[in-house]
């Protein structure tokens, strides 16, 4: 213990030395990614951005020394609406920021552990060719900093993660991210690049159980997660936080799986991956529907989005998508492309107006998502409600008697005595108008009306808009 402490102190002292020497010579990353290319031999300070953003492509034609600064922080944040959890993070986000370097670069990695941390942390980078991927060199107690350097000898997309014992716990708390080592010629140009990492989370409470939840070692051992998530939070990329693109855009996703336990069957509903860098390596596969990403692995997928609508990113082990949170959205806007995709006729009432930008199948899937994420917390997953507290939405005579009245209920909430299926309820439903868009409210109500043995029906986003603007409805 005393030994490791004094060697830590030595590392710390060396670090300070290196910092002083290099500080004056450092060039901002903006100069690397922008116009003036950094002078050869001048260290470049990597400018990191939080997920799902990605640093810009590298245009350098020569290797450089790149300084990367990561800081481990233990923070309480929402994992789902109303559910809080203590995450262990790199730079305060799950995943940690995507690090972007070029093959041949020498990376000088500074790992700082925030003084408020309770645990020591370190980093194992899969892009490193060296013992432990840097893990032994970077064991860092709270309030300290470690530095190691490595040459990025192989291009590819690699996971980095904390490897401090118990390793599965550090990873299960969110300690992972990706490092992209670009080939010397760079990657082909695309319209958008995004960063998505799946992880499985083990909480003391059940799915959507509100309040501050703690880590559950037993569930971890059984590999039975409470949540399976993209970017560490249910809804991290849905609704207002959806990824965006325009019709015809080519989108590149840097996708990783932090685990600790579950592999991801990564799929975009309504999309086909034109190119997949299988396992993050140099092999490129084409026309792939679902790509398998193991824990501790990654993949670069590229897809064209030729028609407008909402495209769901899922783990196609589909229970995880609809009942454990592994769901994100890519919203594609632009004119309809009926020569490529056209809803001719179908079982559901054909929606008008805004639905053209988001077909009925998307609407139903989106409605199911909103129901599972929001309504099910009170009305229950089977919509049967809870006696004495939450009325049923299943076979609800109250709902079916006046489906459009429900628009105002979701927008503005409901309180006072009501009778549903001969049972009285006198409770409070909160207003959800601030957190749900017109489309989401239309979708969820259409979903509810066409499921749970209700009588069917359709609510259009334009009707929600009218009620929101103060029209009739309630
Ligand atoms: C925080 C809990 C909560 C959430 C979340 C919630 N509701 Fe409710 N809801 C209630 C309560 C409580 C009532 C009864 C209010 C009363 O007694 O006046 C109710 C009543 C209703 C009713 C009318 C009664 C019935 O059973 O037909 C509808 C329709 C409804 N909610 C739909 C929704 C939809 C759709 C969502 C999701 C977008 C949702 N609710 C989310 C608590 C909730
Ligand atoms: Cu750690």
Coil, strand or helix at 311 = strand
Q: Is the pLDDT of residue 92 over 90?
A: yes
Structure tokens at 158: 């690699």
Instruction: Give CA–CA dist 311/394, Å, rounded.
Output: 28
Atom of ligand 1 at shortest distance to CA of 440?
38
Buried b (16+ CB within 10 A) or exposed e, 70-80: bbbbbbeeebb
Side-chain-side CA neighbours of 457 within 13 Å: the count stands at 19
Span 208-229, pLDDT tens digits: 899 999 999 999 999 999 999 9
Nearest alpha carbon to residue 184 among 34, 39, 64, 48 = 64
Mean pLDDT across 403-421: 94
**Range from 32-46, 277-291, 364-378 that averages highest in pLDDT:** 277-291
Residue 286 bridge partners (DSSP): 275
* 162: confidence class by pLDDT, cuts 50, 70, 90: very high
Structure tokens at 121: 């942390």
Structure tokens at 59: 């245009």
pLDDT given at position 16: 40
Buried b (16+ CB within 10 A) or exposed e, 118-132: ebbbbbbbbbbeeee
Instruction: Give CA–CA dist 178/302, Å, rounded.
Output: 17
295 alpha carbon to ligand 2 midpoint, in Å? 17
For tokens 């190119």, name the residue: 275
The residue extents of the domains of the chain are 2-187, 195-351, 365-468
What is the rounded average pLDDT for all residues in the chain? Answer: 88
Spell out which residues have Cβ within 5 A of ligand 2, the ion. 121, 162, 164, 170, 175
pLDDT given at position 472: 53
Mean pLDDT across 194-219: 96
Residue 26 or residue 144, greater confidence: 144
pLDDT given at position 389: 84
Question: For the domain 195-351, what is the CATH code?
Answer: 2.60.40.420
Mean pLDDT across 149-177: 97
Q: Where are the beta strands (DSSP E) in 58-105?
A: 65-80, 83-90, 99-102
DSSP classification of residue 351 = P
> Is ligand 1 within 6 A of the CB of residue 459?
no
Contact (Cβ atoms closer than 8 angstroms) between residue 293 and residue 255: yes
pLDDT given at position 426: 85
Span 9-58, pLDDT tens digits: 444 444 444 443 343 334 444 334 444 454 567 899 999 999 999 999 99
Class of domain 2-187: mainly beta
356 alpha carbon to ligand 1 midpoint, in Å? 29
> Is ligand 1 within 6 A of the CB of residue 432?
yes
Computed from CA positions of residues 167, 168, 171, 173, in that sequence, does the dihedral angle turn out positive or negative? Answer: negative
2-187 and 195-351 share one CATH topology?
yes
- Structure pTM? 0.66
Nearest alpha carbon to residue 308 among 354, 263, 273, 346 = 354
Atom of ligand 1 at shortest distance to CA of 436?
38
pLDDT given at position 30: 39
252 upstream amide cis, omega within 30 of 0: no
> Is ligand 1 within 6 A of the CB of residue 448?
yes
370 alpha carbon to ligand 1 midpoint, in Å? 13
* 355: confidence class by pLDDT, cuts 50, 70, 90: very low
pLDDT given at position 343: 75
Nearest alpha carbon to residue 407 among 468, 333, 330, 342 = 468
Q: Which of 392, 429, 454 most suits a substitution to test ligand 1, by most atoms within 8 Å of the C-beta? A: 429
CA-to-CA dists, residue 200 to 173, 266, 314, angstroms: 9, 14, 14
Instruction: Give CA–CA dist 346/361, Å, rounded.
Output: 10
Domain 365-468, CATH 1.10.760.10 — does that match?
yes
pLDDT given at position 471: 64
110 alpha carbon to ligand 2 midpoint, in Å? 15
> Is ligand 1 within 6 A of the CB of residue 401?
no
């Amino acid at each position: 213990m005393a030994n490791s402490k004094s060697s830590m102190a030595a590392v710390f002292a060396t670090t300070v030395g290196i910092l002083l020497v290099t500080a004056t010579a450092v060039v901002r990353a903006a100069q690397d990614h922008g116009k003036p290319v950094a002078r050869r031999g001048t260290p470049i300070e990597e400018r990191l951005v939080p997920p799902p953003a990605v640093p810009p492509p590298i245009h350098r034609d020569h290797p450089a020394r790149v300084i990367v600064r990561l800081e481990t922080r233990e923070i309480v944040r929402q994992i789902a609406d109303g559910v809080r959890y203590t995450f262990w993070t790199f730079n305060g986000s799950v995943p940690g920021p995507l690090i972007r370097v070029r093959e041949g670069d020498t990376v000088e990695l500074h790992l700082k552990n925030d003084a408020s941390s309770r645990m020591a942390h370190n980093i194992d980078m899969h892009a490193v060719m060296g013992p432990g991927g840097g893990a032994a060199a970077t064991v860092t107690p709270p309030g300290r900093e470690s530095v190691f350097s490595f040459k990025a000898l192989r291009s590819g997309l690699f996971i980095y993660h904390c490897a401090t014992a118990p390793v599965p716990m550090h990873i299960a708390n969110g300690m992972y991210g990706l490092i992209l080592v670009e080939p010397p010629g760079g990657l082909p140009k695309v319209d958008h690049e995004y960063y998505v990492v799946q992880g499985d989370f083990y909480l003391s409470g059940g799915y959507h159980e509100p309040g501050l939840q703690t880590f559950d070692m037993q569930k971890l051992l059984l590999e039975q997660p409470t949540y399976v998530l993209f970017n560490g939070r249910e809804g991290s990329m849905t609704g207002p936080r959806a990824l965006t693109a325009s019709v015809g855009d080519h989108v590149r996703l840097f996708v990783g799986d932090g685990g600790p336990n579950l592999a991801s069957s990564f799929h975009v509903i309504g999309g086909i991956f034109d190119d997949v860098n299988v396992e993050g390596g140099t092999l490129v596969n084409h026309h792939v529907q679902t790509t398998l990403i193991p824990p501790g692995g990654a993949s670069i997928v590229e897809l064209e989005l030729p028609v407008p609508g909402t495209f769901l990113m899922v783990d196609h082990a589909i229970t995880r998508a609809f009942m454990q949170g592994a769901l994100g959205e890519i919203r594609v806007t632009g004119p309809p492309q009926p020569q490529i995709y056209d809803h001719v006729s179908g079982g559901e009432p054909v929606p008008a107006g805004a639905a053209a930008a988001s077909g009925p199948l998307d609407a139903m899937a989106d409605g199911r998502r909103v129901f599972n994420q929001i309504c099910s917390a009170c009305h229950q997953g089977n919509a049967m409600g809870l006696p004495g507290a939450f009325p049923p939405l299943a076979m609800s005579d109250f709902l079916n008697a006046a489906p459009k009245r429900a628009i105002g209920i979701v927008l503005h909430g409901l309180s006072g005595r009501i009778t549903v299926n001969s049972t009285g309820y006198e409770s409070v439903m909160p207003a959800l108008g601030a957190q749900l868009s017109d489309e989401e409210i239309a979708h969820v109500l259409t979903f509810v009306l066409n499921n749970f043995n209700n009588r069917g029906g359709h609510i259009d986003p334009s009707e929600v808009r009218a009620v929101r603007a103060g029209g009739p409805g309630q």
